[in-house]
Structure 1
Amino acid sequence: MSKDLKIAFLASRARMAQAALAELSAAYGQSTPQEADVIVALGGDGFMLSTLHETQPLDRPVYGMNRGTVGFLMNEYSADGLMARLTAAEEAQINPLRMKARRATGETIEALAINEVSLLRAGPQAAKLRIHVDGKLRMQELVCDGALLCTPAGSTAYNYSAHGPILPIGADVLAMTAVAAFRPRRWRGALLNKSSNVIFEVVDPDHRPVMADADSVSVNNVTHVEISSAQDVTHRILFDPGHGLEERLLREQFV
C-alpha cells in the first residue's frame, strides 16, 4: 500500500470515537470514502460491521481502531505513525452470509451478515425448527431458544457465547450452533461446507414466533430462512502485522 494515502475517517457517535475523529482528521486530512484509498473506522466491533456493510460497494480496505468496548475486529488506537501502520497492514478477505428471510405475510427480506445469521424465539415458548442442508432434510425438529449459522470471522462472537466452535479464518466451513437446545437435548451443532445452502423452516410459527437477525438487520415473524455464503461479496479488513484474524482466533482458544 502506498505511503501517500488518502484516508476517510469514519466514527461512531461515542465521545471517544468523535474525539479520535477530530484528532486524526486534523493530523492526516480527511477524504470522502469514494475518494479514499483506505477507510479507517473508529469505534467498536458493531461500528466496524456497519462500516463494512455501508462501504462494501466501494471495494476499499477498512482499518479499524478501537474506540469502543470489545474490538475483536479492531486494531489498537494510536494517533502516531498511522501512515506507516496502514502501509504495513495485512489484509484479510472474508465473505459474508446471505440471508433470505420469508415472513408469514409472504414478504421476503434479504440481508448480508459478516458474523452470523441467527434465529431466535420471539415469544414465551421455545422455537421449533426444521433444518435442511443442500436440499436434504437433516433434522426433523430442533426445539430451542434459537439457532445460528456463522462464518469463521464471526465464530468468536455470539457463536462462541452459545458454546459453538472457533473456526480458523481460512477454513472453508460454517458453524451451525443451537442456543439452549431442548430437543435433541444439548445438541452440539454441526460443521458445514462453506458452499452449503441451509434452510431453517419454522414449525408452528403462529404459536411459536421466531425472528431472524443478520448483523442487526432483524426480521420478525419468519417462517422460512435460507442462508448461503455470499461468495460474490468480499470484505477487506486490515490488521497490524502479527495481530490479524488468524492470530486472534488462535489466541481466543488458549486464554
Structure 2
Amino acid sequence: MTASTTLAFVASDRPEAQQARERLIARYGSVDVDQADVIVALGGDGFMLETLHADLSRRTPVYGMNRGSVGFLMNDYDEDDLPARIAEAGRAVIHPLQMDATTEAGQVHSGLAINEVSLLRQTRQSAKIRISIDGKVRLDELTCDGCMVATPAGSTAYNLSAHGPIIPLDARVLALTPISAFRPRRWRGALLPHEARVCFEVLEADKRPVSAVADGLEVRRVARVEVRERRDIDLVMLFDAGRSFEERVLAEQFTA
C-alpha cells in the first residue's frame, strides 16, 4: 500500500461506529467500495464477516478497527496515521467453506462460511448425525446438540466456545467439533486435512429436525449437508504490524 491508496470506510449500525466513520471520512476522504484499494471496516467481528461477504466479487483487502463488542478480527481503534498503519499492515489470507445443504424436501441451498458451518438441533430432542469424510463413514451416529466444521479463522469463535482447538492460519487443517456430544460421550472431534470433504447425514430427520448455518445463511430441516474448503477464494484481512493474526491466535492459547 502507498500514500495514494484509496480507502472506503464502512461501518456497522452502532452509533460509535457511524460517528467514527464520519470523522475518518472528514479526515482522510473516502471512495465507493467498488473503487477502493482497501476497505476500512468499523465495528466488531460480526461486521468484519459481513464486509468480507459483501465484497466477495472483488475480494478487496479489509482493514478492521474495533467499534463493536468483540474485536478479535479487528485492529485497535486509532484515528491517527491511518494510511501509514495500513501501508505497514500484514496480510492474512483466509479461505471460506462451501456449504451445500439439502433439505428434507430435496431443495439444495449453498453458501459460503468464513468462520464455520454448523448443524444445530431445532427442537428439545437431540440431533442424530452420521459423519463421513471423503466418502467414508467415520462416525455412524453422533447424538448431540450439533456439530460444526470450522476454518482456522473461525477456530477462535464458536468452535472455541464448543471446546474445539485453536488452529494457526497456515496450518492447512479444519476443525470438526461436536456441540454437547451425548453419544459417543467422550468424542471431542477431529482435525481434518484442509482438502477433506465432510458430509453430515441427519438421522431420524422427521423426529429430530436439524438446521444448517453458514455464517448468516440458515437452512432449516436439512437431510444432508456437504462441506468443503474453497481454496480458490482468497479473502484478505489486514492487521497492524506486530499484531498479526498468527500472533493473536498464539496469544489466545495462553489466555486464562
Shared fold, TM over 0.5: yes
- 2:144 & 2:42 partners in 1: Cα distance? 37
CA deviations on 1:226-248 (whole Å, 9 max, x unpaired) are: 00001111100000011111000
- Report the identity percentage: 55
Q: CA RMSD in A?
A: 0.6
Does the 8 Å CA contact 2:101/2:108 hold for their aligned counterparts?
yes
CA deviations on 1:94-149 (whole Å, 9 max, x unpaired) are: 10000001111111110100100000000110000000100001110000000000
| Aligned residue in 2 for 1:120 | 120
CA deviations on 1:50-95 (whole Å, 9 max, x unpaired) are: 1001112112100000000111100001111101101101011010
> Which runs of 4 or more aligned residues in structure 1 lie more than 2 Å from their structure 2 counterparts after TM superposition?
none
- 1:59 & 1:150 partners in 2: Cα distance? 21
| Aligned residue in 1 for 2:27 | 27
The number of aligned residues is 255
TM-score, structure 1 as length reference: 0.99
Which 5+ residue runs of structure 2 have no aligned equivalent? Answer: none
| Aligned residue in 2 for 1:248 | 248
Partner SS state of residue 143, structure 1: strand
Does the 8 Å CA contact 2:52/2:59 hold for their aligned counterparts?
no
| Aligned residue in 1 for 2:49 | 49
- 1:189 & 1:234 partners in 2: Cα distance? 27
- 2:189 & 2:36 partners in 1: Cα distance? 42
CA deviations on 1:190-239 (whole Å, 9 max, x unpaired) are: 01000000000000111000001011211100000000001111100000
1:171 correspondence with 2:171: yes
| Aligned residue in 1 for 2:11 | 11
| Aligned residue in 2 for 1:219 | 219
- 2:44 & 2:190 partners in 1: Cα distance? 29
Partner SS state of residue 236, structure 2: strand
Letter of the 2:253 partner, please give it: Q
- 1:58 & 1:25 partners in 2: Cα distance? 22
Q: Within 5 Å, which residues of 2 pair with 1:79-98?
A: 79-98=79-98
1:228 correspondence with 2:224: no
- 1:140 & 1:36 partners in 2: Cα distance? 49
Which 5+ residue runs of structure 1 have no aligned equivalent? Answer: none
1:59 correspondence with 2:65: no
